[in-house]
Amino acid sequence: MSEKRLERKKLLNKLFLKNRLVILNEDTFEEIFSFKLNLMNVFVMATLGAILLISFTTVIIAFTPLREFIPGYSSSKLKKDATELALKSDSLSSALKKNEAYIKSIQKVLTGDLEYAKFNKDSILASTDEAPSKVNLSPSNEELKLREQLAKEEARLNISKGKRQKRK
């Protein structure tokens, strides 16, 4: 037990032992500057320097366009352009469907399969529009149970508020 305590004491003495770092001019042995350091100061300064360097690098990468050079990150302009192109392609595909339906109807009129009096451009375009899918909006059993539970809690809270107001 005492040996461990002595080893710790020696280590602490080494950590806080003052040393002097001197920078000399080699030709004249003139002292340019000197520091009084101990090992603990060196460890603390090295750790702080590393933390500052890492945080500075992270900030530069996160908040500048430099992040675009990292694989996996794309520029905001590229994302914006991709969104615009997706919207344009959707609108172009729907316009193409309408035009194809219109041309098919005109072909029917020209070949005589359809009478001209029955031909209406609006009805053709309306037939190409996709009807929205029907969604079941009826509440599920779990939702009904939750509604009942909330109604009970609300009623209980309203009763307790009413009692408080009557007391005042």
**Could you tell me the two tokens for 161?**
């508020």
Burial class of residue 108 in the structure, from the number of CB atoms within 10 Å of its CB (0-12 exposed, 13-18 middle, 19+ buried): middle
pTM here is: 0.44
Residue-wise pLDDT for 137-162, tens only, equals 788 889 899 999 999 998 888 887 76
Residue-wise pLDDT for 83-120, tens only, equals 999 999 999 999 999 999 888 888 887 887 765 555 56
Q: How many residues does the chain have?
A: 168
Q: In this model, does residue 128 exceed pLDDT 70?
A: no
pLDDT class of 129 with cuts at 50, 70, 90: low
Which pLDDT does position 101 carry in this prediction?
Answer: 87
Which pLDDT does position 52 carry in this prediction?
Answer: 98
- Dihedral through CA 29, CA 31, CA 34, CA 38, nearest 10? 30
Average pLDDT over residues 9-17: 87
- Residue 31 forms beta bridges with which residues? 24
Q: In this model, does residue 167 exceed pLDDT 80?
A: no
